[in-house]
């Protein structure tokens, strides 16, 4: 869990009051394999599993400053926390009109895309099975708008574009279902049935317990077991770098976080 890693963990304690909500049963929730307290976990790409996890950063009055769908590596999450901090300063500024604040919000959300490093963009590429699902089920998705020949935007770009369209919205009015809707509703890496080389025991995994809104997986065209070739794994097994395990280098861009 990237929230437990630095620099995010310190930022949580310093800038946030934290809370959690189990979204099992919500219409927008997806499904995944069920893991117990000592179950394996997997480090994956930014934005993976958007129906199963949403990380909201709110002002103290419940206004949504930023929202990250799915998993995010700790260094990229920290950059987004920094943006939320800046947006909170705008939201709290009583000398600005609501219209001015909304303009700042849109501008800063879109400008943040330009500050994403190439490495962050690489960590934010939709995985093959999600991309294929998106092409088949949402050919007019904003992931493809303006990108010809089957190319797709990365999740870190789309999330800011979607946020820019939701300037300072109250949490209770935030349309989570539309905001986090991309990729497959079922996100399961079968971690507990995977060995250290990445190989999955498909036979054992077939009867694994599931969690979440299992009805969401019964949509037309849904295929529970993704083609392993679409998972984007390094088949050679030589590259085992784990997303999110890198520590934040000293002096990295903080986007206005107070020291």
Partner 1 sequence: MRPVHLIATASILALANCPIPPAEPQALGLLSGQLAHDRVTKLTSQVHWHNSLYQAEDVARREGKMVLWLHMLGDIKGDT
Q: Which is nearer to partner 1, 102 or 191 (CB)?
A: 191
**Cα–Cα distance for residue pair 186/222, rounded to 1 Å:** 9
Assigned token pair, 14 = 């310093």
Bridge-partner residues for 130, per DSSP?
none
Site for partner 1 contains 121 (CB under 8 A) = yes
Q: Cβ(231)–Cβ(127) under 8 Å?
A: yes
For residue 67, the surrounding DSSP H or E stretch is: strand 64-69
Could you tell me if 254 and 114 are in contact, meaning their C-beta atoms sit under 8 angstroms apart?
no
For partner 1, give the closer residue by CB, 126 or 164. Answer: 126
Give yes or no for residue 228 binding partner 1 (CB under 8 A): no
Is there binding between residue 55 and partner 1 (CB under 8 A)? Answer: yes
Measured distance CA(111)–CA(115) in Å, rounded: 7
How many CA atoms lie less than 13 Å away from 140 in the CB half-sphere? 0
What the block records as the tokens of 230 is: 């679409």
> Which residue in 95, 90, 25, 17 sits closest to 58, CA to CA?
17
Q: Token pair of 26, please?
A: 């919500």
Taking the complex as a whole, how short is the minimal distance between the CB of residue 48 and partner 1, in angstroms?
A: 10
**For partner 1, which residue of 72, 85, 105, 182 counts as binding (CB under 8 A)?**
85
Q: Which of 172, 181, 167 is nearest to 109 (CA)?
A: 167
- The nearer residue to partner 1, 114 or 251, going by C-beta atoms, is 114
Q: Does 142 bind partner 1 (CB under 8 A)?
A: no
- For partner 1, the closer of residues 60 and 250 by Cβ is 60
CB atoms within 10 A of CB 116: 19
* Nearer Cβ to partner 1 (248/251): 248
Q: How far is the CB of 60 from partner 1 (least distance, A)?
A: 4
Close Cβ partners of 145 (under 8 Å, ≥ 6 residues apart): none
Span of 99-107, 150-158, 159-167, 246-254 interacting with partner 1 by CB under 8 A: 150-158
Of residues 196-215, those binding partner 1 (CB under 8 A):
196, 198, 211-212
Q: Select from 81-89, 101-109, 159-167, 246-254 the region that touches partner 1 (CB under 8 A).
A: 81-89
**Position 21 contacts partner 1 (CB under 8 A):** yes
Question: Out of 40, 145, 202, 218, which residue is the one contacting partner 1 (CB under 8 A)?
Answer: 40
* Number of residues this chain uses to bind partner 1 (CB under 8 A): 81
Shortest spacing between CB 253 and partner 1, in angstroms: 19
Range in contact with partner 1 (rule: CB under 8 A) among 40-48, 96-104, 160-168, 246-254: 40-48
């Amino acid at each position: 869990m990237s929230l437990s890693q630095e620099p995010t963990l310190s930022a949580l304690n310093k800038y946030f009051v934290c809370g959690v909500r189990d979204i099992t049963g919500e219409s927008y929730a997806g499904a995944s394999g069920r893991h117990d307290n000592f179950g394996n976990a997997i480090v994956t790409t930014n934005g993976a599993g958007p129906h199963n996890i949403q990380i909201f950063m709110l002002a103290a009055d419940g206004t949504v400053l930023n929202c990250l769908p799915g998993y995010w590596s700790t260094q990229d999450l920290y950059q987004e926390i920094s943006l939320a901090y800046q947006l909170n300063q705008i939201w709290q500024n009583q000398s600005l009109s609501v219209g001015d604040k909304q303009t700042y919000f849109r501008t800063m959300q879109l400008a943040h895309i330009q500050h994403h490093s190439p490495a962050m963009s690489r960590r934010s590429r939709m995985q093959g099975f999600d991309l294929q699902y998106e092409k088949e089920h949402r050919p007019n998705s904003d992931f493809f708008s303006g990108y010809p020949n089957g190319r797709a935007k990365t999740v870190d770009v789309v999330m800011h574009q979607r946020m820019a369209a939701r300037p300072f919205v109250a949490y209770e009015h935030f349309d989570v279902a539309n905001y986090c809707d991309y990729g497959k509703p079922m996100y399961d890496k079968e971690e507990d049935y995977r060995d250290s080389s990445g190989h999955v025991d498909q036979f054992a995994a077939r009867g694994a317990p599931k969690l979440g809104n299992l009805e969401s997986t019964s949509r037309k065209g849904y295929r529970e077991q993704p083609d392993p070739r679409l998972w984007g794994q390094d088949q050679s097994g030589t590259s085992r770098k784990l997303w999110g395990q890198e520590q934040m280098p000293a002096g990295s861009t903080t986007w206005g976080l107070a020291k």
